[in-house]
Every structure is written in structure tokens, then in C-alpha cells.
């Protein structure tokens, strides 16, 4: 099996290396990842500038391509330019920080996997809840169990799955939960400061995941409770129920010229 590995924390990120070491047991791993940190890049792509991709040898461990672009750029480039063969699986991560709830929409990690799904591959994003001690080695071992299980049960081309691992305190994870994406807004605020010219500027200050109140059975709840959460996601954002309803509306006749 050929696996494309990418992330949004950059090709030198420890989370990517840890996952690389485990994924090697599943097949041949090609790494195409951003040169710099691309957190919160979401599904952005580069269209107004050229994209530089350099072959890079990382830590005596792997050869990859370091890309001056977004996570989605990396995956597009892997499929259409730098790899000699289409991958059988796209894996993105391990991200430093959970990508649960509305953060799925801001996440470059999930977007890279989503791009893999768009390109017609099964795709899996892996994220680890942020804590002072990010044990990526252990997180990678845990995620490979989950990835193997997903592969055994079956994942189709175009299927997108997000795995969130809770912080790895003593005794955690407590198990695996399959749960939907939360839409509860995160606890966050803007800090206002003053620049040297006396003008106000603002800095988004996200609070810990643990300050977000989540009462539903969601990805966020699972991670907060100490479970690994597996969430099947869809690239297609269409609201099917409202689609039917809106089709029944009386729409105005338009002048054709
Ligand atoms: Mn990140």
C-alpha cells in the first residue's frame, strides 16, 4: 500500500515523524508536507504565486517534499506533480491540538485529508489534544490501531475520517467512541492591545478545549471525557433536508436579457 503522509504543522513537526514511523508498518509512505506551520490554514490553496517544493531528507529518517504552501497545496501537488503513483491512502497528522467541533472548519490537518478525499482516495486526519506533554510516540501507536481497524472494516475512495486523541494523562484513553462533529462555539476572546502608534489591535486568544461547555454526545465531548473519537466527515456541505425544501419554494422569474 502506498500512503501519502502530510500535516499542517510543517514537515519537521514531531507529530508527523511519529506517525511516519508507525505508518511504515502498513506500506510505503511518501511525505509531502508544508515547509512552515500552517495551522488554521483550513482548505486554502495557492493560486496567485508559484509553489516551491524541495526534496528534503529529514533526520536520517525519511525523504519527503517540503512545500512552500498550504496543506491542501501539498496534497494536490502530491497527486498531480511530485509522486510517481497515486496513493492508496492519505493520512494527515498527527496535529498538535485536537481538531474537534467547529475547529474542523479551520483545520489545515483535516483540510489536507479532505483534499485527499476530493482526489479520490480514502483519507484520515489524526489530531492529539494539546497538553504540556505531547506524547506523539504513544499517540502514533494508538492511532495506528484505529487506522488498521478502519482499513479492516473498509474505507472507500472519497471517504474522510477524523481521529481525535485525548490528552494522554495516566489511564487515558478510556476507549474509542464514534461521535458526530460538535457545533458548540469554543470559549475564545479577543485581547485588545495598543500598537506603538496608539492604534488598537486585536489578538484572538483561544481558551483551552476544557473550558468549552459541551453537553451533547459529540467529538468534543468524547475527547474531553478521555476517549479517542472517530468521526466520519463529508466534503459535501450540502444540507440535504433544506435542499428539498428550498427546491419547493416559488422563485422569481428572471428576465433573460
Ligand atoms: Mn496544526
**Cα 49 to middle of ligand 1, angstroms:** 23
pLDDT of residue 211: 86
Strands (E), 83-199: 89-96, 123-128, 160-165, 176-178, 188-194
| CA 103–ligand 1 middle distance (angstroms) | 11
Q: For residue 2, what is the enclosing H or E element?
A: strand 2-6
pLDDT of residue 115: 98
The 3-class SS string of 57-92 reads EECCCEEEEEECCCHHHHHHHHHHHHCCCCCCEEEE
- Position 173 scores a pLDDT of 98
Could you report the per-residue pLDDT of 48-97, keeping only the tens digit for each?
A: 999 999 999 998 899 999 999 999 999 999 999 999 999 999 999 999 99
Q: In this predicted model, what pLDDT tens digit does every residue of 227-243 receive, in sequence order? A: 999 999 999 999 999 99
Å from CA of 228 to ligand 1 middle: 18
225 touches 174 (CB < 8 A): yes
Q: Ligand 1 centre from 109 Cα, in Å? A: 6
Distance 140 CA to ligand 1 centre (A): 16
Ligand 1 centroid to residue 207 C-alpha, Å: 16
Give rounded-to-5 percent helix, strand, coil for the chain: 30, 25, 45
How confident is the model over 147-167, as pLDDT tens digits?
A: 999 999 999 999 999 999 999
Asked if the model's pLDDT at residue 249 lies above 90, the reply is yes
Task: For residue 9, report the distance from its CA to the centre of ligand 1, in Å.
Answer: 4
The mean-pLDDT minimum among 7-21, 44-58, 207-221, 224-238 falls in 207-221
How many angstroms separate the alpha carbon of residue 39 from the centre of ligand 1? 4
Q: How far is the CA of 245 from the centre of ligand 1 (A)?
A: 38
Amino acid at each position: 500500500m502506498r500512503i501519502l503522509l502530510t500535516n499542517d504543522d510543517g514537515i519537521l513537526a514531531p507529530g508527523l515523524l511519529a506517525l511516519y514511523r508507525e505508518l511504515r508498518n502498513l506500506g510505503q509512505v511518501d511525505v509531502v508536507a508544508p515547509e512552515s506551520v500552517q495551522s488554521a490554514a483550513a482548505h486554502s490553496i495557492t493560486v496567485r504565486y508559484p509553489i516551491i517544493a524541495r526534496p528534503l531528507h529529514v533526520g536520517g529518517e525519511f525523504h519527503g517534499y517540503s512545500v512552500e504552501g498550504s496543506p491542501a497545496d501539498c496534497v494536490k501537488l502530491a497527486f498531480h506533480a511530485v509522486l510517481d503513483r497515486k496513493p492508496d491512502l492519505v493520512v494527515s497528522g498527527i496535529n498538535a491540538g485536537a481538531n474537534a467541533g467547529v475547529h474542523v472548519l479551520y483545520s489545515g490537518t483535516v483540510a489536507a485529508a479532505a483534499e485527499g478525499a476530493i482526489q479520490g482516495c480514502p483519507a484520515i486526519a489524526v489530531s492529539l489534544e494539546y497538553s504540556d506533554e505531547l506524547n506523539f510516540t504513544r499517540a502514533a501507536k494508538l492511532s495506528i490501531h484505529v487506522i488498521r481497524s478502519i482499513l479492516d472494516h473498509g474505507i472507500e475512495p472519497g471517504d474522510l475520517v477524523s481521529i481525535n486523541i485525548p490528552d494522554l494523562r495516566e489511564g487515558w484513553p478510556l476507549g474509542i467512541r464514534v461521535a458526530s462533529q460538535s457545533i458548540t462555539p469554543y470559549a475564545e476572546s479577543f485581547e485588545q492591545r495598543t500598537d506603538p502608534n496608539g492604534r488598537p489591535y486585536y489578538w484572538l486568544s483561544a481558551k483551552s478545549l476544557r473550558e468549552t461547555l459541551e453537553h451533547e454526545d459529540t467529538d468534543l465531548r468524547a475527547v474531553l471525557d478521555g476517549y479517542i473519537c472517530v468521526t466520519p466527515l463529508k466534503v459535501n456541505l450540502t444540507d440535504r433536508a433544506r435542499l428539498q425544501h428550498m427546491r419547493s419554494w416559488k422563485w422569481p422569474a428572471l428576465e433573460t436579457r
